[in-house]
A and B are shown apart, each in its own frame.
Chain A
């Protein structure tokens, strides 16, 4: 609860900083602020409960996921210091918008009311529409912002329509009340409108997590957006949306999960297949990460499908592993792209010689994404697979296992580019901030991979 209030205040502070001309102080202040908010969030661990007439509900799930969101935010804000060093005049706007994105994510992770879900998604999305198009003189960035906005607006419409239908049937926006309604009625006597509403909401949520077949926006938007925003989108948005999806089903639609199970299975298989197979042909790193993100959405959907065996911890662990690996990869990729003026995989050519440290960090991030032990990506996959099998989805798990074999191929493509291809002589200058972030992420991948109990016993 306090987490959300303080984060909003931090966003407002950024806007006012513009007026008082405090731009130089801004990034350190934000970094310290987010760290402090992380502490506040930590204190809320044992002080859960519902707030504002049950609009928000703080529980272990929301605190844990919020902490992850804050850490992602922190890592991104550390990188903004270098990323926006030539755009000082807009820095306060950018930071404020990014912090509001974080607010949206926090709401999505702790809502207890459909209205709050919609608000959270809108706050998150609208901020990101702006940030995706924030390279104003770049047509691709404009295209990305516009595409994201148009498609996102449709998805929001679906969501709202779904919420309205469910309200029509159950007379409530409150998750718990809807959940009770579902439990107290025989599934066959519930009006069909309820199921239509559920399906519409599901479509909107699948759009937000970029799962197939609602994934078409993500490669274009990821490619066009500034690289830092791509890193932010591919981690924070996906994790917040999965948190929201899990909350929705766990608190509200648990009783009717069987009716959408086949839809979820199809979405998972499609995500795994489309994500992995299309990624094989990508030459642009950001597009590669977009398709990799689609396939990871497929793995995480496995966690949602087998929700009735208690997959919250597994999903949380997977999210953390995915986030650290992805941010670690982008922390290396951003300075390299900047130096090479090229965002293809070939920008990494010869990096193994030019900068062994960066190459090693990117390699380890890629291995974690591919799910090779001892990195967190491996155990994350393991937990998800294990839960899916416990939930009785053996065939689906087998498909996911095959998908991860294919996945290893394109992650290795990046590694191969670094170590086996000759690059040109462009010097790569890297701000220590990026190295710091990458080292932190890789270290976290390793630590989580070796001591998973730190996260697994949380929720």
Chain B
């Protein structure tokens, strides 16, 4: 029951928000998303006591072909659901004190997005998962299209078509899996035990990998990303970078590695090389960016490249690191984009050259921004450090040379992040900035919570490992060809 409630509540919240009218919408959305967070916390307490079995939900849906509403919540899913439901209230709160037209539609779409994301992480039936995966595209497309920047039309269209192309390939892959597995179903238990002929796994790998690589994005499938981040409204960018990217990395773990181990054995080396190339490439591009939002977008490509590399390293360190880093990156990137939004809100520019010296005007903002940046460059005792360290360790076990190149991310990441911080926040106050009021109440709460989590998770990450461990062990056992 709790499973259904956890899944269904955001949908209800979305409809309520839509009906509440523009004035009330933001407040109602915030309250409802906090309620959803409370439900998630309750789900966690149940998980603690009874384990993953408590969340098993199975209901026949379509008889032929066999598609069922099979929901579940193991450690991995629980962490991703927790990330989603933790970030959504922050994202909604970040929109307070900003003027947003047609607010009812806006917040309703954000909550609809939350519904779809929860569905993606909880679905244990391939077709159900696919439906949520596609459903997640619709709200974010309209958020970017209707509330985005001046160049939004071509950019969002490219984003939509690009990701849809990947998704359709995945649909094709799922249909093939359906016919190839002896039980002919989409249920994850059947797919995990299908043991499909290795000769077919090679090309099936690509139908799934392309879909995920576009969503994550792994270089060279990243071209939609920077522009979309730039044009989408801040909350849309947060949803995209904070949670939606994780759909891709989560799916690698859940739907690719355990189902097609032979395909991964065949093409995994190429995939991990692409990831590592992407890390270096995106970092170098990030160094050269003048636009703050675009810099953050490319830094995000570099980070998720490392996460994916850790996943393809196929060992426990890599897996654990990827999960921690998914959470850490989700929190950090939302914080970073919110800082960018705060700067843009006050100065009307995101050009790094025309900023500077904000520290002198807004010391509180400076402190919190600093913590988020440090988390992002993986300073020890921040959440970024744990993840990156484990990821690099995992990649090192896989291949030393790859880990050397992947390790560049730490150096290059420090270069572009600290340089960005120095040029926007430190030094003399830029001529373009006349006034820079310090943080408003909602901004304090959002950045404060994010900074607290960055440090908390950095100092004491053990609960995350404990929750993720059994699920990851199961996936790892399935992923390695014996």
The interface of chain A, by Cβ under 8 A from chain B, is 352, 367, 372-374, 378, 382-383, 385-386, 389-390, 394, 397-398, 401-402, 404-405, 408-409, 412, 416, 419-420, 452-453, 456-457
Contact = CB atoms under 8 A, between A and B. Distances in A.
Interface in B58-101: 61-65
Contacts of A383: 65
A432 to B, nearest CB: 21
Contacts of B142: 419
Contacts of B172: 385, 397-398, 401
Interface in B26-54: none
Nearest to A449: B131
B148 to A, nearest CB: 9
B134 A408 contact: no
A456 B61 CA distance: 12
Interface string B140-172: 001001100000110001001100110011011
Contacts of B169: 401
B interface majority secondary structure: helix
B152 A408 contact: no
Interface string B173-202: 001101100000000000000000000000
Contact of A374 (B64, B65, B135, B152): B135
Contacts of B131: 373-374, 378
- Nearest first, the 10 A-B pairs at minimum CB distance are A373-B131, A405-B165, A373-B134, A401-B172, A401-B168, A420-B153, A386-B175, A408-B164, A389-B175, A452-B62
B130 interface: yes
Contact of B62 (A352, A409, A456): A456
Given A373-B134, A373-B135, A453-B63, A420 B171 contact: no
A367 B146 CA distance: 17
B138 interface: yes
Contact of A386 (B65, B145, B146): B65
B76 to A, nearest CB: 24
B171 A382 contact: yes
B64 A408 contact: no
A374 B116 CA distance: 11
Given A373-B134, A378-B134, A453-B62, 8 more contacts: A372-B137, A373-B135, A382-B127, A385-B172, A386-B178, A404-B168, A412-B161, A456-B63
9 contacts: A372-B164, A385-B171, A385-B175, A389-B175, A398-B172, A405-B164, A408-B160, A412-B160, A412-B161
A307 B142 CA distance: 39
A41 to B, nearest CB: 24
A456 B66 CA distance: 12
Contacts of A409: 157, 161
A interface majority secondary structure: helix
A64 to B, nearest CB: 16
A303 B184 CA distance: 20
Contacts of B65: 383, 386
Interface of B: 61-65, 127, 130-131, 134-135, 137-138, 142, 145-146, 152-153, 157, 160-161, 164-165, 168-169, 171-172, 175-176, 178-179
Q: Which of A372, A378, A404: most chain B Cβ within 10 A? A: A372
Contacts of B64: 456-457
Contacts of A420: 145-146, 152-153
A452 B145 CA distance: 31
A257 B146 CA distance: 50
A150 B161 CA distance: 40
Nearest to A405: B165
Contact of B161 (A378, A408, A453): A408
Nearest to A415: B145
Contacts of A416: 145, 153, 157
Contacts of B179: 386, 389-390
Contacts of A382: 127, 171, 175
B415 to A, nearest CB: 38
A389 B164 CA distance: 21
A453 to B, nearest CB: 6
A105 B157 CA distance: 39
Nearest to B135: A373
Contacts of B164: 372, 405, 408
Given A373-B130, A420-B153, A457 B135 contact: no
Contacts of B135: 373-374
A405 B145 contact: no
A412 B157 contact: yes
B134 A372 contact: yes
Q: Which of A382, A452, A456: most chain B Cβ within 10 A? A: A382
Contacts of A378: 131, 134
Given A386-B65, A390-B179, A453-B63, A401 B153 contact: no
Contacts of B62: 452-453, 456
B138 A419 contact: no
B130 A405 contact: no
A28 B61 CA distance: 38
A267 to B, nearest CB: 22
B168 A405 contact: yes
B157 A419 contact: no
Nearest to A416: B153
Contacts of B176: 389, 394
A233 B332 CA distance: 55
Contacts of A401: 168-169, 171-172
Contacts of B178: 386
A367 B171 CA distance: 17
A373 B161 CA distance: 15
A220 B411 CA distance: 63
Contacts of B160: 408, 412
Contacts of B175: 382, 385-386, 389, 397
Q: Which of A367, A401, A453: most chain B Cβ within 10 A? A: A401
A382 B127 CA distance: 10
Nearest to B146: A419
A427 B134 CA distance: 35
Contacts of B152: 420
A329 to B, nearest CB: 17
Nearest to B153: A420
A20 to B, nearest CB: 49
A362 B138 CA distance: 15
Contacts of A398: 172
A406 B145 CA distance: 19
A309 to B, nearest CB: 11
Contacts of A389: 175-176, 179
A354 B336 CA distance: 37
Q: Which of B137, B142, B172, B175: most chain A Cβ within 10 A? A: B175
Contacts of B127: 382
A393 to B, nearest CB: 12
Contacts of B157: 409, 412, 416
B7 to A, nearest CB: 14
A402 B137 CA distance: 18
Contacts of B63: 453, 456-457
Contacts of A419: 142, 145-146
Nearest to A390: B179
Given A420-B153, A452-B62, A372 B168 contact: no
Contacts of A374: 131, 135
Contacts of B146: 352, 419-420
Contacts of A408: 160-161, 164
A372 B168 CA distance: 10
